[in-house]
Structure 1
Amino acid sequence: MEISLQIFLICLALGAVVGFLAGLLGIGGGLVIVPVLILLLPLTSIEPQYLMPVVLATSLAAIVLTAISTLLTHYRKRNIPRFFMPQLLGGVGLGGLAGGYFADVIPSDYLQVFFAVFAMLMAIQMWIGAKKAEVTVVSQPEYSSFKLVVICFGIGVIASLLGIGGGVLLVPFLTSQVKLDMRRAIGASAAVGFVVAAMGSIGYLSAGLSSQASLPPWTLGYVYLPALLGIISLSLLAAPFGVSVAQRMPVKVLKRCFSILLFIVAAEIIFS
């Protein structure tokens, strides 16, 4: 069977998991997509120095489309805190665009190590955060508009460099610092994840189209299309289901299970 078709079929299953987690926890899914693609894309004989740009670009492109489905579902359930969304979206949008350009000049090996360390830290954060009770909804954020924009710019840069939507950074920030209800923080994260991924994808697409890199067939810019199509085929269907479960089910056990998954993923990247 042709390699591109094998990758497409594997990414179908990946997409179902990504879509469900995106709807359930407000994460873009990059923490799952990136390590899987790191293992899959070398099968295309891609040159090592271009592996991470292609992995990250493909992950962000998949997050864009998955986030649309998740965002619409959260909007219908009134989980989007509109009162400070302009600051969040403006900050992460600019950060995501900047990160897409920075990644093109950062060595691939450094990005892989950075991602593995980041995954470990987020696993610890999710495990510890599962013990904390949800906070009460507030009418206004405790942070000033300037601080929100600056912090969200940093989140956008990091998320774009790692090929993730930023939810694992934004949700803890909104619940612990801004004192926002968990479900509304997840809704805000869905909106932010869409903007980060969209801006990051533009950066990667522009960098890839202007690059002289020798990339595998079926690659547009730095986006590997068979993996992208496989992921979004089922993630778009699974995302609304994840949102529905999040409305009815405590996320404590699921967060801890996901933290264990992150540890395994990080260890696999480091030792491979």
Structure 2
Amino acid sequence: MKMTPLDKDGVLVPYQENFINLLLVEDKEQCRINLIGKFRQMNFEVETFINCSEAQKRLDDENQPGIDFLVIDADVVNGIDGISFARRHREKYPILLISSKSESLDEVKEEGFITLHKPDEDHLLANKINRAKHEFLEAKTIKETKDGLENLQNVVCDIQGNLNSLVDVVSCHSEKTQQDLKDIKDMFVENRETQKVKEEQNKKLSLMELLRSPNLKNMVELIKVAFSTLRVFLIIVMLIVMMFASQNDKVKEIVQPYISGIISIGKP
């Protein structure tokens, strides 16, 4: 298999195919070459650095393609040491720590890092890579789920608070609405009483106006004239009756009161 050459800074020129981007920090050239070959067989596009300081610059460069996986030699000490570099990025990337020293790996195993002892475990490289990736994704999923639940709990608390506030507002509005309805009812009753009073006043005013009306006065005068005419007519009738009853005192006695009553008709 053709190897991608290294430039003078130890940076591997990556393939332009759609491989997974892997960043390798290894200061020993032969180890670097051996690992590159194995990673290429696993379809990784590899970028290599001889120290963590240069690797950090690469990770900080937003204009470069993103990195998917870190393989770090725990024994690199030039600038940032390999273990500190791995701790710094363990929440951002799946990481495999490699070393030829067992004591270096024992230090980080308790922290949950996936490790590879070289060269004794080189045949386990693919297994270790898959395990590191799996555990990283699992931890990431757990963290995202936990964060999501916390956010959901906060949302529920906010909703509960808003509901309590809404209940208070509705309660206040309910009391106010009841009071408003009572005020409207009282106002309606008051308006009805006022309307009745006004109607009575209007009736009185109408009667007074009617009494003051010239037409009514004329009608009263006509009635008076009619009563006077009727009185005269009745008197004439009764006089005629008296003439016929003059010969009978008993009849005259009966008719006389009627004549007196007729004479009083129409008098004020």
Bucket of the pairwise TM-score, normalised by the shorter protein: under 0.3
Taking structure 1 as the reference length, the TM-score comes to 0.20
**Higher helix proportion (structure 1 or 2):** 1
**Higher strand proportion (structure 1 or 2):** 2
Which structure's CA Rg is the greater one?
Answer: 2
Taking structure 2 as the reference length, the TM-score comes to 0.21
